[in-house]
Structure 1
Amino acid sequence: MTKVHVFARDHINTDEIIPARHLTTYDEAELAKYAMEDYDKNFVRRVEQGDIIIAGADFGCGSSREHAVWALRGAGVSAVIAPNFARIYYRNSINNGFLALECDGIVEAFQDGDDADLDLAGGTIKNNRTGQVLKFVPVPQFALDVQKAGGWLEYMKAHSQAEVEAETLDAHSTEAGHGHAGHSS
């Protein structure tokens, strides 16, 4: 089973995920020490390998730093599930082989510390405390392939230029505005 950490607020930005004062390294283990530090100082003491973050809408907004993905992955987080993501965070997640899953109603369905079963193939997450099952937006095959390869660079090494250029990513978070206030979509 997997434990969830609920950060219910919308618009958690990359500086809250990994504060700028710690961007002196690319080492995930070092960055992990400060993951979510400005939001929850005790997060890194509670998180365990394979845990999931559940967050509010527009997770990862702000600057485009890949460090936000690296810090969470380094801390042991296996996925972030939110109603939607800032586009650059979503893309950085895919490029780094990290799961950013979109699921309406996710924040309301879980409490901090709940156990969950994540079924990537089935596109569901189950709250084992309540029995509630939610469906998330299917992960594009391309993103799964990049994750399996260990990230975009590893994926590119294993595929020809023509194969890479033929790939597409068509997901809710890649659409302009993705339903946020102030946008027409």
Structure 2
Amino acid sequence: MKLTGNAHVYGSNIDTDRIIPGKYTKTLDMSQLADHVLEDLDPDFRKNVKEGDVIVADDNFGCGSSREQAPLALKAAGISAVVARSYARIFFRNAINVGLPVIEASDHAIEKENIVQVDLMNGIIFNKTKNETYQGTTMPRVMINILEEGGLVPYLKKHKDYVL
């Protein structure tokens, strides 16, 4: 599973309220979530993001509450993957559950508007703009399978005969 997109770069401790403000979490309308993603952190994000783009962050991305709307909003906005030095564990798990690819890469030099390719299977991030490769964590095959199915629910529906 390889994903390529333009990098939108942010710092450390980007919490779920910055990803999607709490006042918008009472809807199940994914387009409404997408319309407000990162609006307090980056007011121009929504007009600049394109389908397939990648979020890149420093440490502790997705900290704060355990709301699933944060990774859902990013996915609905067209984000193909998130690369961060580290994640809040509940955000990481929620992202996998909703089918948003995430990868940890503690040592990267990705800058705004770099074109990056994320190879989840091998845990490699290739910065096409700088012609640099960064080693990220490799993901267990079952997690790749969950992402390929679009999230945990579609995965379980497809594999219901194997789930106890």
**Which residue in the other structure is 1:177 paired with?**
none
Q: Is the counterpart of residue 84 in structure 1 residue 86 in structure 2? A: yes
In structure 1, distance between residues paired with 2:163 and 2:149 = 13
Matched residue type, 1:3: N
Aligned to 1:143: 143
Whether the 8 Å contact between 1:97 and 1:143 is mirrored in structure 2 is no
2:5, 2:80 within 8 Å by CA — same for their partners in 1? no
Kept in 2: contact 1:6–1:112 (CA 8 A): yes
Shift of 1:117: 2.2
The equivalent residue for 1:123 is 123
* Correspondence for 2:8: 5
What is the total number of aligned residue pairs between the two structures? 161
Partner in structure 2 of residue 45 of structure 1: 47
Identity %: 37
Q: Runs of 4+ in structure 1 displaced over 6 angstroms?
A: none
- Unaligned regions of 5+ residues in structure 2, if any? none
The amino acid of 1:5's aligned partner reads: H
The Cα of 1:22 is off from its aligned counterpart by 1.1
* TM-score computed with the length of structure 2 as normaliser: 0.92
Aligned to 2:64: 62
> What RMSD, in angstroms, separates the aligned Cα atoms of the two structures?
1.4
Distance 1:148 1:128 in 2: 24
Q: Which runs of 5+ in 1 are unaligned?
A: 166-185
Task: Write the deviation string for residues 16-52 of structure 1: whole angstroms up to 9, x where unpaired.
Answer: 0000111121222110001111110001111100100
2:159 is aligned to 159
Q: CA deviation at 1:119?
A: 2.4
Residue among 30, 49, 57 paired with 1:28: 30
Between the aligned partners of 1:12 and 1:94, the Cα distance in structure 2 is 18
Query: Aligned to 1:63, what secondary structure does the other structure show?
Result: coil
- Taking the aligned partners of 2:25 and 2:118, their CA distance within structure 1 comes to 31
**Conserved 8 A contact 1:110-1:127:** yes
- TM-score under structure 1 normalisation? 0.82
Secondary structure of 1:2's aligned partner: strand
3-state SS of 1:116 partner: strand
- Answer whether contact 2:20 2:38 (CA < 8 A) is retained: yes
CA shift at 1:149, angstroms?
Answer: 1.5
